[in-house]
Amino acid sequence: MKLNPQQQQAVNYLGGPLLVLAGAGSGKTGVITQKIKHLIVNVGYPAHQVAAITFTNKAAKEMQERVAKMLSKKQARGLTICTFHSLGMRILREEANAVRYKKNFSILDSTDSAKIIGELIGSSGKEALFKAQHQISLWKNDLKTPEDILASAANEWERQLAKVYASYQATLESYQAVDFDDLIRLPAILLRENSEIRHKWQKKLRYLLVDECQDTNTCQFTLMKLLTGAEGMFTAVGDDDQSIYAWRGANMENLRQMQEDYPQMRVIKLEQNYRSTARILKIANKVIENNPKLFKKTLWSQFGIGEVVKVVACQNEQHEAEWVVSQIAKQKAVGGDKTKYADFAVLYRGNHQARLFEEALRSARIPYQLSGGQSFFDKAEIKDVLSYIRLIANPDDDPAFLRAVTTPKRGIGEATLGKLNSYAHEHECSLYQTAQTEAALAALPAAGREHLAAFMEMMERYRSRAETDDAGGLINNLLEETAYENHLLNSEEGKAGEIKWRNVGDLTSWLARKGGQDGKNILEIAQTIALMTLLEGKDEDENDAVKLSTLHASKGLEYPYVFLVGCEEGILPHSDSIEEANVEEERRLMYVGITRAKRQLTLTHCIKRKKQGVWQFPDPSRFIDEMPQEDIKILGRKDSEPIVSKEEGRSNLANLRSMLAAKKG
């Protein structure tokens, strides 16, 4: 990779803290990986003292692949390239005793966390539960304790939820479990309060590279500062114009705070874009300049002016979907083999907008891939198998115990589980411990006691093998002993059971590879799996298919042809942001959408749209008016050109007739 002057400056600079303001498509990943190589090969940093931290498994994997091409295995040995959560898990595992956890703690996913919180608030209502879980997560990300909330609670709801937060945390500790937020919160608190451990990790990781720094929350930013110390030997890469995750705790003010915390910090701007045409960038720059600027920058490109950007007014949402799909089919036909379906993306503000585009693509027999579909690790059959793995790794994991002991059914019913729960609660011990206690067993029905004893004997056998046996073989043995395949085939209709069993086979094959390649036993793999479910699950197939994606999920990706749909007041910007007079993040979201396009960008909006069965007549998005009007072409409105010209209409009709004639022949 040949670096431009600004990129080269960012790679070479080692005079202290560095903030690299990397505009969309400016080659930031290349800068990070080149700097890793520079630190190890030219400067002489041992690889095990360098860490590159990002937000998603996908981004970390891309960096790892690039670095593998630059460094030999010997040079890269010990190098850390991972997510914030993976780094937090590493610190927690090594310092488990200091936070009163054992090394093989469990990591609960959002579903398990929601069950616990639901029981504590006495409600399984989705809206109330989501609100409570989300608020507790935000408090954790802000490093606020239940005591902090109680001291400053603005209303009774916050006071009551602070008590739920305290009980939830106590429950996690009793399970010897953490949630995803704790993976960063606990290490941050530990390093803040324990100077000996803090200095130990500062020596371990002498240089830090942090990607997407504008997306850090208070907790992540604190952990970063604690690891780098007063010298601030780090390179932070970010873009305030692409900060779109405030709803999950990201704090763009961290970039401003960084300047105050490190007055000696150098700032280098990457403004040359290697993705889009000049016209697309001009539109993006013009829209985003309406936001207050933390750092002023202007993207530019050497790819030429490019095509005019179309803004299309569709009659309604059905027409919008059908028109977009017709344009994809037309462009694909014109491009022939040189154009792939994977070159096209349809981006929208909310998941609910996807359905009509799915229907239109299916009708046109065009393959598509829906971003944000169900994760492989969220499938019921996979969670069943993982419950056994979690329980082998950590017998205090009550949610895993309850799932494993009842799947497949083995004669352990509600009466038995109710008595176990009562004893465990009264004596403050785990369900696994309770199932090994004579006094608790004596109170159980005879049949339940017998079946429970058989289950516990089996689990103890597998726990004794966990550190020595290969992971794939161990789980295959367990699945055979529990007759899990028969359970699936007998409990599902048609081929559903076979499909689920194939998924389990994929999991066991993956476990075997993980154990063989990385030398990990089942105890270590249990925590690795939990992390893989955080921001994305199993890697999406690289199929030749049109991509349907939310704007949030599209960040970091690029496509030759982008359709940005639903550009209306109330959708983009979202009605909530309009009511709260806070459209700045929505404008950044529009900016992200625009800058995904490489060659061709089309925006659509509807003249009328049905909402809850009633026709609405939304205004076009205000962001369209903010664009340089000489660079956009508006089609379909009363005072503009029609979507399809008469000549194009005649051509389309002729093509249709020739196709029908060919079919008859």
Residues with catalytic roles = 28-29, 211-212, 242, 596
The answer to whether residues 7 and 27 touch, using CB atoms and an 8 Å cutoff, is yes
CA angle 300, 216, 573 (to 5 degrees): 60
Distance between CA 565 and CA 556 in Å, rounded? 19
The answer to whether residues 347 and 593 touch, using CB atoms and an 8 Å cutoff, is yes
552: nearest Cα among 255, 127, 247: 247
Task: Label residue 558 left, alpha or beta by phi (over 0 means left) and psi (-120 to 50 means alpha).
Answer: beta
Torsion angle in degrees (nearest 10) through CA of 44, 50, 56, 59: 0
Tokens of 36: 């890793």
Cα 605 to the chain's mean position, in Å?
28
Task: Please report, for residues 36, 116, 277, 557, 632, the alpha-carbon distance to residue 306 in angstroms, rounded to integers and kept in the order given.
Answer: 35, 54, 5, 20, 12
Task: Please report, for residues 273, 276, 598, the alpha-carbon distance to residue 299 in angstroms, rounded to integers and kept in the order given.
Answer: 6, 10, 14
What is the rounded end-to-end Cα distance, in angstroms, of the chain?
Answer: 54
The answer to whether residues 550 and 349 touch, using CB atoms and an 8 Å cutoff, is yes
Positive or negative, the CA dihedral 290, 295, 298, 300 is negative
396 residue type, one letter? D
Strand partners, 571: 574
Tell me the pairing of strands 234-238 and 609-611. unpaired
Tokens of 412: 């352990």
Tally Cβ neighbours within 10 Å of residue 391. Answer: 26
Long-range own/partner contacts, residues 64-68 (CB < 8 A, 24 or more apart): 66/29, 66/30, 66/33, 67/33, 67/36, 67/37
Tally Cβ neighbours within 10 Å of residue 514. Answer: 18
134: nearest Cα among 156, 154, 114, 151: 114
Tokens of 382: 């996979």
φ/ψ of 230, rounded to 5, equals -65, -35
Helix (H, G, I), strand (E, B) or coil at 243: coil
Long-range own/partner contacts, residues 228-232 (CB < 8 A, 24 or more apart): 228/17, 228/202, 229/202, 231/16, 232/16, 232/17, 232/261, 232/262, 232/264, 232/265
Positive or negative, the CA dihedral 501, 506, 510, 516 is positive
Helices (H), 109-181: 110-121, 126-141, 146-152, 156-174
275 annotated to a ligand binding site: yes
Task: Please report, for residues 13, 228, 256, the alpha-carbon distance to residue 16 in angstroms, rounded to integers and kept in the order given.
Answer: 8, 10, 17
Distance between CA 302 and CA 275 in Å, rounded? 10
Strand partners, 107: 178
Residues annotated within a binding site for ATP: 275
Residues annotated within a binding site: 275
